[in-house]
Structure 1
């Protein structure tokens, strides 16, 4: 029960962490020759890295993501970066009136100011196979009795190298149970289960990042093709017990 001792950081501490991360990234970018010429801007908001700008190749974006994600204190790496001149297709699942970024495509079951397309997230998403670069599932999974069909749909619609960003209340915080519409409790170990404990033939995921700040859990997942090797134990040890 050690996890129950987690205390969400104060607003003051979050500001200090963001300041530290900003300085740490600037120092790393100066000293890593691979990063100097990449036109990617990295900002930090409450421990979440926000990447914008443009790179020439997918490998360039993977490099920046990986380097940012290795900084101590980063909870997630959210990207809206053009690759080879192409604007990414970014979709907010269950966005309601507020999207994570203006310009995202908003899907929700109820009409609201930020909703572009009505969609039941417990059913098939109205998106073509391999058509999306980034999916946001922010405060969504906890509202679904069975969220695995949505996770499988996310795997279907993401392009190779695409990312599913998850944010949900941590089960040990009051926010997880204060909302009576929450029907599931989640932990970072839940993300481990999504990646490693699915039955044979189920869509497979590689965790790019996973963490908890004492109030919420965060995860960045990318789809794995059926024949891809599983994540290494060294990689998994960064995030999971």
Structure 2
């Protein structure tokens, strides 16, 4: 068997990459007239871009997301941006005691200090249609024998333009198999299958971003209607084989 060559970057290299990304974004924001004046703060942490601030409409947020995501080295673009004066509704799936941001709504099967509502994530979510702007599924999908029902539920609950942020262990890293509660192995290509290879009539997703740092895989997905055009090949080629 051929050994896998990809290894996670060191903490020192990750800090260097974050420094590069900070400088690259500042330079881009200065020279792109469309970005100048937008009140969005972009912070990089281990290759993940964290967006906060406020924009007037969803198109402005989509522009910032797209421009940040085009920087080499960005693994994911995580957003908590007010749009049109409204705070986003952000839900942490399987959050346990620690949520990604303290103001998020936390759902988990077990009660804990960070859990706002107890819910079995393998069943329907106790949330209304079109009621959430952002879902975090951080280190949760690998614990579910079949995670597609949860992905479908996220599609139902997300508002148009909403985003599902996924982070899971990469199948080629020891972390994927070291935890005996992990029952699924994931790769970036898993999200190609979710977006492009599911049967007709199932919920459809557009991949905003996908990446792997050698230890974890990341995916930012947004729901699209059944009659939407498929993503262009030029976009997919950035992420998928």
Q: TM-score, normalised by structure 1?
A: 0.99
Matches within 5 A, 1:6-155: 6-155=6-155
**CA 1:131–1:177 in 2, change beyond 3 Å: closer, same or farther?**
same
Separation of aligned partners in 2, 1:122 and 1:11: 35
Which residue of 1 is the match for residue 161 of structure 2? 161
Separation of aligned partners in 1, 2:168 and 2:139: 5
SS state of the match for residue 5, structure 1? coil
Cα-to-partner distance string for 1:4-53 (whole Å, 9 max, x where unaligned): 21010000000000000000000000000110110000000000000000
Separation of aligned partners in 2, 1:212 and 1:24: 20
Separation of aligned partners in 2, 1:26 and 1:2: 41
Q: Which runs of 4+ in 1 moved over 2 A?
A: none
1:215 Cα deviation (Å)?
0.1
1:3 Cα deviation (Å)?
8.6
SS state of the match for residue 110, structure 1? coil
Separation of aligned partners in 1, 2:111 and 2:58: 35
Unaligned runs of 5+ in 2: none
SS state of the match for residue 217, structure 2? strand
SS state of the match for residue 168, structure 2? strand
SS state of the match for residue 171, structure 1? coil
Is residue 223 from structure 1 mapped to residue 239 from structure 2 by the alignment?
no
SS state of the match for residue 91, structure 1? strand
SS state of the match for residue 98, structure 1? coil
Separation of aligned partners in 2, 1:233 and 1:11: 34
Q: TM-score, normalised by structure 2?
A: 0.99
Q: Paired residues, what number?
A: 241
